[in-house]
Amino acid sequence: MADSGQAANKVAVIGAGAWGTTLAWMLSQQGGQLTLWARRPQLAEQIQKQRHNEPYLPAVSLPSSVTVTADMATAVSDAEVVIVAVPSHGFREVMRQAAEYVMPEAVVVSATKGLERDSGMRMSEILAEELGDDYIVVALSGPNLSGEIIKGIPTVSVAASENHPAAAQIQRLLGSPRFRVYRNYDIIGVELCGALKNIIAIGAGISDGLGYGANTKAALITRGLAEIARLGVQLGAQLATFWGIAGVGDVVATCNSKLSRNWQAGRRLAAGESLEQIQTSTRSVAEGIYTTAAACQLGRRYDVEMPITEALHQVLFEGGDVAGAVQELMTRPEKLETEPGQT
């Protein structure tokens, strides 16, 4: 692993969507050798020639120092830091492809906020399966909307790892006067926050789409945080993480910004569009859709009550209607706000 006080000699960003391109652009401001991997050769060629990612982030111009390629060996070989920013549903396949090229001493950073739909696994767990347990893994998460970052609007994020020097290295690598990075050693909690908050953001989009007000959204955020924290603690996360940057911070951003893909998906559901219409009409992925399915499975497996997540699952996958889901949530049996020893 590179010394935690120094920048890596070569950094690879896997994934040329909006977030991957944003990360590559941020890192390019600091100089050094940088590669950006795109899954589609035609996209890689377009970005390499024009220096703009027209489909996902046209407002950003990448300097010539960034090499864009669809060849995994070119992108990843000799990279001291490998940052993975691909959708959760393709994460395993991409890392299986990258595995033979990632150096054993490399630090691998997951910048993906999601859970694997069928297994419910976190991205670091997938990395352990595909790369091996010996690799050093860091999770990056926080209120990080690409559309604001590229405008130079200040924000913060969290680099989380059980390996303390690696968390510090990524903190220094990505940190800047406009992007402040904190360390956190609860990687389980940070990953779960980044994934599960997207469920609440879909609910917030539905609430706004139905014309509900601040009271409704405040209740949704508060009770949504309570249920994802319940699941998180059951899965080994620290409760405090859910009240930090990766938890409350990211929830506030994604529930209130029209730049949020998950909020947009919720708003469109409220307008009567089907899940198929939403997914086929946009290039970008609303991770909360897949995460809702995975979180429901986990909640049922670990006997964790998650009424908001269950209601969204009915709307997304079981043919339920939005109005009925709201009515069901509002007429649940009365209960204490906080049970002793619970959230």
Distance in angstroms (rounded) separating the CA atoms of residues 166 and 127:
16
Tokens of 65: 């120092």
Distance in angstroms (rounded) separating the CA atoms of residues 72 and 12:
10
- Give catalytic status of residue 197 as yes or no: yes
From the list 10, 197, 258, 335, the catalytic residue is 197
Residue 52: CB atoms within 10 Å:
16
Residues 6+ apart with CB under 8 A from 236: 188
Backbone φ and ψ of 105, nearest 5°: -90, 5
Chain position carrying tokens 């043919």: 319
Q: Which residues of 178-187 are buried (b: 16+ CB within 10 A; e: fewer)?
A: ebebbebebb
CA within 13 Å, CB half, 65: 14
Distance in angstroms (rounded) separating the CA atoms of residues 192 and 247:
9
The residues assigned a catalytic role are 197
